[in-house]
Structure 1
Amino acid sequence: MAKAFASQGDLDEKKISFTEVGEGLWAFTAEGDPNSGVIIGDDSVMIVEAQATPRLANKVIEKVREVTDKPITHVVLTHYHAVRVLGASAFGAQQVIMGEKARAMVAERGQEDWDSEFQRFPRLFQGHESIPGLTWPTTTFNDRMTVYLGKRRIDLMHLGRAHTAGDIVIHLPDANTMFTGDIVEYHSACYCGDGHFADWTGTLDNIRAFGLDAIAPGRGDALVGQDMVNAALDATADFVTSTYAPARRVALKGGTLKDAWDAVRAECDPKFKDYAIYEHCLPFNVARAYDEAQGIDNPRIWTAERDMKMWEALQG
């Protein structure tokens, strides 16, 4: 193949940053790798996103222990993807919280997603032997749920489909700050292989309506200040639109998936080719955009075998 499959060629460890985005709120970031969030309450700590393995989760715990000795009691997972959830066991939390739709997606496609992502991200899955199995939540909700860590209020909400059908966000009213998962990225490609293009920009508008002072995105640097927040929302919307519009035009004219690939590259390369995991994401994004444009609402399940066939057809 012309390019190493997905992120198989990305074997260099990333520099970790731990940025305070509000009082008692921290973003664990690593140069375009999946981010985690830390919410410190009166007596305990909530983690947002569990990383791919207990090994990586322990790196988050090390950073937590630099700023607090309070126990980690809650883990919140914004969606079902393996690189976000399979490290959950390391935290020893009393509650693991997901949206009900995300839990349903674990049941429907969790193992296939694990096998697929294991093949795509070998570096992130170092130490995979310690993963005890699929991560299942202890608590789920539909549209909205509030958790209190002492007096600190944390609102968990489903604001619409985007990166997946079951995305949730975590809002801290006292700090006007939100953890968005992969609905919002910063200088990192959006992975749209399980996404809903027609809904995504509306979900971003729902986030924008909060007038946030800070966002911890799914990938990329923490966003502090309304200018940086709005720039990231604009760039994410542009990425999604620039991917879907050309693929949709091709599909509606009866063009092939390869035609859609060429059209999306022509639109996206000049703007986004330097983004983290851009080449990794693009074939999956085009395949999903082409499907959605043809009326396939529920994203087809990615398997390790399907991944390789699609990659060779587009990136080969």
Structure 2
Amino acid sequence: MPIPYRTGLHQIAPATYAYLQPNGSWGWSNAGLVVDGDEALLVDTLFTVALTRRMLDAVEQALPGARIRTVVNTHGDGDHWWGNQLLPDARIVASTAAAAEMRHAGPQPMLAALAAGGSDPGVRDLVELFAPFDFTDVTPTYPDVTFDGELELRAGSRTVRLLEVGPAHTEGDVLVHVPGDRVLFTGDILFVGGHPVVHSGPVSGWIRACDVILGLDVDHIVPGHGPVVGKPEVARFRDYLNRLRDHAVDTHRKGRTALEAAREFDHRGFEDLDDPGRLVLNIGAVYRELNGDGTPAELELMPQMSAIRPEGR
């Protein structure tokens, strides 16, 4: 039976839960919970203190005896860790690469941009995208346990496996596998219902991460953004990444700009995806890899996102 895609805590296995936030667009991320008796492990906090408090209140209401002793941050984007401060007694775990990114990705630049209103066009777009969120009371709270490769944790007697698959979406992406329940939390290695954002790349690394997921014995897959799905949606997402990479390599060879390339992208089979403007950023990420000089910068491309409208939408 499909897990309903509505805001709140949803049980997806006997003692494993997903906290979902439709519609899954910018900043509206998912989280997860693994419970054994009175001990729990939380997969990611949310973008703001208020949103994280709302989630923790839902956990307390549904599972009043559960104490969150461990938090796993799947990567360094703020919508997956800026609520960490509400769990001061928990150990916080992330990959070494993610932890390094987190120390350079606190809310202060966002707050400064929001306060100034953004004189740069790219910053103005950030201001508009994140206007619904209040970051003023965020105190960056960093991991105190880091790892490379793989790490096995416990939630009570239950095994939770962490698998580092970055760089892909970001430098330090981690999958959280609950083998006993055949559940996987992907962080932003999987977007469902919308175009992803390639911050780091390479896209080939992201494709390999999808292959890792498809090789795991899992039934329920909780994406970083979007509804709970199964492996067919992961295969479809991998197809998207393959098309994106091949298209960007071809348009780069032809001398197209990232915007021109995004306008020429073949949307067939992906017409339903929200946030099509992200194509400009994703093609730009492939171009940065091919150019090797950091160009075109992501912030410079953001004002061009609004120019992308697939046919029929």
Whether the 8 Å CA contact 1:190–1:236 is kept in 2: the answer is no
Of 8, 13, 21, which residue of structure 2 is paired with 1:30?
21
Structure 2 unaligned regions, length at least 5: 112-122, 308-313
Q: Which amino acid aligns with 2:49?
A: P
Secondary structure at 2:248 match in 1: helix
Partner in structure 2 of residue 77 of structure 1: 73
CA distance in 2, matches of 1:109, 1:149: 28
Q: Which amino acid aligns with 1:152?
A: R
Whether the 8 Å CA contact 2:37–2:156 is kept in 1: the answer is yes
| RMSD, aligned CA | 2.5
Q: Which amino acid aligns with 1:239?
A: Y
Q: Which amino acid aligns with 1:91?
A: L
Report 1 or 2 for greater relative contact order, CA contacts < 8 Å, sequence distance ≥ 6: 1
Structure 1 residue 168 corresponds to structure 2 residue 166: no
Of 118, 129, 138, which residue of structure 2 is paired with 1:131?
138
- Counting aligned pairs with the same residue, the percent is 21
CA deviation after TM superposition for structure 1 residue 295, in Å: 4.0
Secondary structure at 1:59 match in 2: helix
Structure 1 residue 149 corresponds to structure 2 residue 155: yes
Q: Which amino acid aligns with 2:18?
A: A
Partner in structure 1 of residue 45 of structure 2: 50
The 5-angstrom pairing of residues 184-263 of structure 1 reads 184-223=190-229, 229-263=230-264
CA displacement, residues 189-215 of structure 1 (integer Å, 9 cap, x when unaligned): 211133320111111111111131111
CA deviation after TM superposition for structure 1 residue 235, in Å: 1.8
Partner in structure 2 of residue 59 of structure 1: 54
CA displacement, residues 171-203 of structure 1 (integer Å, 9 cap, x when unaligned): 112112111111112222211133320111111
Q: Which amino acid aligns with 1:125?
A: F
CA deviation after TM superposition for structure 1 residue 313, in Å: 4.2
Number of aligned pairs?
286
CA displacement, residues 55-111 of structure 1 (integer Å, 9 cap, x when unaligned): 000121122123212112211100000111111112334211110011122234556
